[in-house]
Structure 1
């Protein structure tokens, strides 16, 4: 009697089919879990939208207290993430973004305290007028609804984003990078514990702890449950969200920031500005990445500034003209490659180019800028005004460091990100950026 024996190719095909089936089931389970969390956030948003300022501020104060009470647990969770990142060979700049310390937790607490003292934008009357037919029309600021936040290895964003969302009457669904999952889960646990003690629903803050990148895709296509997506991180993350999302995106941008030193710039001003912009915290998006030097700025000033940057540990990647002008530093100035002019290093590396004029500097910035923050150092008011008028960026500076592009430094309190787009919000996004508006129309029986 004949026996049917599966050939190796048949067995391989069967296994592939079974794997596809199991993968499909796994994705369906993930989608179900994510959508359940989004539904809870949506329900909570209907409550948070109606809360008073005092109720929201009480919740923020309770979160601050809870973070301090849970500090040991939060730091222990963060240590797990750091050890895993170190084992994976992540660079020092990445570890710095990931690391939490007692000082950084207190910075988060201070940020919450500052947020409590800021005005609540929800309910503000933006404009009002009366039509000839007697209708009274008011434009009133309202919450966005449910915010989806996708971000990379910065646990501080978890608290900043949740706090700003709550202050503006929104719910928020957070999805940080899996490398920070233990830190983020510990922080969100503190937030939800505090919310349970307050008048705010704990479900107003959700965290997606799933390793699968598909959870981001589900979040970005959850029309009807999510009102806006905010990506915060590198260019790859932002582009992925922009390409995948069917939900409106509030785009935060990468920071390829420039400082142009004009021919008559004061050295006493230029040196501290450049060193601050590059070295004070090189991993952040408002750090300067490219230095443009006017060829007529005194050579001794140029050389001294380059030496100070090298002394501070900055690797300099210079154009051929810069290297030729400073033969004594040629062995310390690496030759710049074309891609250096478009790179956000986020570490102690800086591109250096010598330009012939202000116009050359403007053309370079126009070609390579990401529209974040750009600065000119000059004593010439006409050159400064031309730079400020021509450069298309969220923030343009005259004789000041690019490091000031920050919600706190602008007086906005905590920020949820820095937008480089031009619709809805631009620059540091504080409380008003997380609101929209509606029209309230009052009549006395008018019909059309």
Structure 2
């Protein structure tokens, strides 16, 4: 069987399995996830043994120590994966929820009910815990899922998926509800992106190059997230100490993640005092600042920012900084250079806070808080499948609800249309 034929078979079987998943009760889905969590713990030795193969191959390929650390599984990390699956089991089931209901003049009752999306395709890199996280979220929301992990974690992903699929069969649920592409050829991704007859949506998780490849080649709708160019605007009424704490956290706690701060905007009325204050703080923490002319007027040691710096997702201890004339100028900058990920304003003015929240249309907009809170778990979703910078059909961190859609339901008493 060719790669194309194999992928089509996997996708079509997942479609049939999705019908069985959609019929499962909340109790049945929770029991399944709890059994899967226990199976991960019980089979930790096998999973770690397979993971070792990936680590050895990664060392031979010259993967960085940071990449190898992301790839590595030990008993504690497998237990962490199991704990994450249990957390998903404990979340409210969105399927079947009636989100609104209204009465028409002819006494028809019209409403909207949450239903699964159907089959979700997930293409991801590096971390093998994504295999169990994605499976748990997709299955809890009543979907089937087709997974395609990166070649660097192939053995780990196959081992985790095998353990989880075995629990589906024990519960009498088609194993194809959780499918994983069993080969690493790039053709597998390309063929997966052609299966619009069977797969309802594709969610890529990884670097910008992967996501752009998926978007450019997919016949299936893609929920994408190219990069996180996150901004903080320090308003004229900002408390400097609050701003310092938030900026330090947003930039330095974990600079290599998508919700880290990348561009700092400062109101001109406070630039003379705030710029030297924040420059001294960040420089002491080894952050390289790249500023515009006005910023460098008050912090001459800063490097000169270039046009490409305003678009940059550094994922490093580098920060672009600009002094702006007012709120409108800050919003204009975000609209021009932002990636629709996360923006925050530091302000003591309620009206300014509300203007920022209304007029900045990124996936997450914050007031007096670090951009690092732009995370499903931190926002109370319990877990997330990823962060979407696509406004259709989901925007921002995606939890269980975002793996469903809604259908109209109508209750009548014999009404006919005149």
Normalising by structure 1, we get a TM-score of 0.84
| Number of the residue aligned with 2:89 | 116
Q: Equivalent of 1:277, from 236, 247, 250?
A: 250
Residues in 2 aligned to 1:302 and 1:78: alpha-carbon distance in whole angstroms:
48
2-side partners of 1:241 and 1:437: how far apart? 26
Seen in structure 2, the aligned counterparts of structure 1 residues 83 and 299 have a Cα distance that, compared at 3 Å, is farther
After superposition, the Cα gap between the structure-2 partners of 1:334 and 1:178, relative to the gap in structure 1 and judged at 3 Å, is farther
Give the Å deviation of 1:205: 0.8
Contact 1:282–1:348 (8 Å) recurs in 2: yes
Supply the distance in 2 between the matched residues of 1:95 and 1:245 (Cα, whole angstroms): 30
1:356 is aligned to 2:325: yes
Aligned to 2:200: 227
Match of 1:171 among 144, 154, 158: 144
Does the alignment pair 1:202 with 2:175? yes
The answer to whether residue 220 in structure 2 is matched with residue 247 in structure 1 is yes
- In 1, the alpha carbon distance for the partners of 2:75 and 2:315 equals 24
Q: Are positions 1:426 and 2:399 aligned together?
A: no
**Which residue among 350, 368, 371 is the counterpart of 2:340?**
371
Of stretches 90-99 and 45-54 in structure 1, the one that deviates more from structure 2 is 90-99
TM-aligned CA deviation for residue 444 of structure 1:
6.3
Q: Which deviates more, 423-432 or 129-138? A: 129-138
Measure, in 1, the Cα distance between the counterparts of 2:324 and 2:59. Answer: 41
1:146 matched to 2:119? The reply is yes
User: Matches of 2:282 and 2:89 in 1, distance apart?
Assistant: 40
Q: Do residues 182 (structure 1) and 151 (structure 2) align?
A: no
C-alpha RMSD of the superposition: 2.6
CA 354–233 in structure 1, closer or farther in 2 if over 3 Å, else same: same
Residues 414/310 of structure 1: CA separation in 2 closer, same or farther (3 Å cut): same
Higher Cα radius of gyration: 1
Contact 2:271–2:295, Cα closer than 8 Å, also in 1:
no
Q: Partner of 1:282: helix, strand, or coil?
A: coil
Tell me, in whole angstroms, the C-alpha distance in 2 between the residues paired with 1:257 and 1:283: 12
Please name the residue that 2:20 is paired with: 47
SS of residue matched to 1:354: strand
For 1:93 and 1:259, the matched residues in 2 are separated by 28
Residue 394 in 1 paired to residue 391 in 2?
no
- Structure 2 contact 271–323 (Cα < 8 Å) conserved: no
- Aligned 8 A contact 1:278 1:287 in 2: yes
CA contact (8 A) 2:169 2:175 kept: yes
What residue number does 1:343 align with? 312
Measure, in 2, the Cα distance between the counterparts of 1:349 and 1:104. Answer: 30
Check the 8 A contact 1:59/1:199 in 2, yes or no: no
Corresponding pairs, count: 417
Q: Is residue 2:237 matched to residue 1:264?
A: yes
CA distance in 2, matches of 1:89, 1:334: 33
| 2:376/2:397 contact within 8 Å kept | yes
Contact 1:265/1:378 (8 A) holds in 2: yes
Residues 233 and 53 from structure 1, CA distance in 2 versus in 1: closer, same or farther, beyond 3 angstroms? same
Unaligned 5+ runs, structure 2: none
Identify which range, 70-79 or 226-235, moves more after superposition: 70-79
Q: Which moved more, 1:299-308 or 1:279-288?
A: 299-308
Q: In structure 2, do the counterparts of structure 1 residues 105 and 340 end up closer, same or farther at CA, with 3 Å as the change threshold?
A: farther
**Alpha-carbon distance change, 38 to 268 in structure 1, aligned in 2, over 3 angstroms:** same
Q: Secondary structure at the match of 1:297?
A: helix
Aligned 8 A contact 1:374 1:393 in 2: yes
1:66 equivalent among 39, 42, 45: 39
Structure 1 residues 317 and 77 mapped into 2: Cα distance closer, same or farther (>3 Å)?
farther
CA distance in 1, matches of 2:158, 2:256: 24
